[in-house]
Amino acid sequence: MTSQNLKQLLISIPKWIIICALIGVFSGSASAFFLVSLEWVTQFRIQHQWIIWLLPFGGFLVGLTYYYWGESVVKGNNLLLEEYEQPKKVIPFKMAPLVLLGTLLTHLFGGSAGREGTAVQMGGAIADQFTKIFKLDNSERRILIILGISAGFASVFGTPLAGAIFALEVLYFSKINFKSIVLSFLVAYAAYFTVEFWEIKHTHYSIPIVPELTIDNLFYTILIGLLSGFAALLFSRSTHFWGSLFSKNIKYPPLRPVIGGIVLAIAIAGLGFTKFSGLGVPVIVDSFSNPSEWYDFLLKIVFTGFTLGAGFKGGEVTPLFFVGATLGSALSLFIPMPIALLAGIGFVAVFSGATHTPIACTIMGLELFGLQPGIFIALGCTIAYFSSGSVGIYKSQIVKGAKHKLYKINSKS
175-219 pLDDT, tens digit per residue, is 667 889 999 999 999 999 999 999 999 999 999 999 999 999 999
Is the pLDDT reported for residue 3 higher than 70? Answer: no
Contact indicator for 65, 98 with CB cutoff of 8 Å: yes
Which are the contacts of 169, defined by CB distance < 8 A and separation ≥ 6? 356, 357, 359, 360
Domains 3-197 and 215-409 share a fold: yes
Domain coordinates in residue numbering, the chain: 3-197, 215-409
Is the pLDDT reported for residue 135 higher than 60? Answer: yes
Is the pLDDT reported for residue 302 higher than 80? Answer: yes
Is the pLDDT reported for residue 248 higher than 60? Answer: yes
Q: How confident is the model at residue 369 (pLDDT cuts 50, 70, 90)?
A: very high
Distance CA(237)–CA(75), nearest Å, equals 17
Q: How confident is the model at residue 391 (pLDDT cuts 50, 70, 90)?
A: confident
Q: What is the pLDDT of residue 189?
A: 97
23-42 pLDDT, tens digit per residue, is 999 999 999 999 999 999 99
Contact indicator for 224, 329 with CB cutoff of 8 Å: no
Question: Residue 50: which H helix or E strand, with range?
Answer: none
Backbone angles phi, psi at 74, to 5 degrees: -65, -20
| Residue 225: Cβ-neighbour burial (10 angstroms; 0-12, 13-18, 19+) | buried
Task: Count CB atoms within 10 A of the CB of residue 138.
Answer: 11
Of 298, 320, 276, 305, the closest CA to residue 116 belongs to: 320
Is the pLDDT reported for residue 411 higher than 80? Answer: no
What's the CA dihedral at 189, 193, 194, 196 to 10 degrees? 150
Q: What is the pLDDT of residue 113?
A: 97
State the CATH architecture for 3-197: Orthogonal Bundle (1.10)
Is the pLDDT reported for residue 407 higher than 60? Answer: no
Contact indicator for 276, 300 with CB cutoff of 8 Å: yes
Q: What is the pLDDT of residue 413?
A: 34
Which are the contacts of 90, defined by CB distance < 8 A and separation ≥ 6? 128, 129, 131, 132, 141
Which class is 215-409 in CATH? mainly alpha
Q: What is the pLDDT of residue 412?
A: 40
Q: What is the pLDDT of residue 179?
A: 85
Is the pLDDT reported for residue 331 higher than 90? Answer: yes
Mean pLDDT of 159-183: 87
Mean pLDDT of 394-399: 77
Contact indicator for 350, 324 with CB cutoff of 8 Å: yes
Contact indicator for 122, 152 with CB cutoff of 8 Å: yes
Contact indicator for 339, 378 with CB cutoff of 8 Å: no
Q: What is the mean pLDDT of the chain?
A: 93
89-106 pLDDT, tens digit per residue, is 999 999 999 999 999 999
Contact indicator for 329, 346 with CB cutoff of 8 Å: yes
Mean pLDDT of 326-342: 98
Backbone angles phi, psi at 365, to 5 degrees: -60, -40
Q: Residues, the chain, total?
A: 413
Contact indicator for 110, 321 with CB cutoff of 8 Å: no
Is the pLDDT reported for residue 297 higher than 70? Answer: yes
Is the pLDDT reported for residue 240 higher than 50? Answer: yes
Task: Count CB atoms within 10 A of the CB of residue 359.
Answer: 18
Q: How confident is the model at residue 406 (pLDDT cuts 50, 70, 90)?
A: low
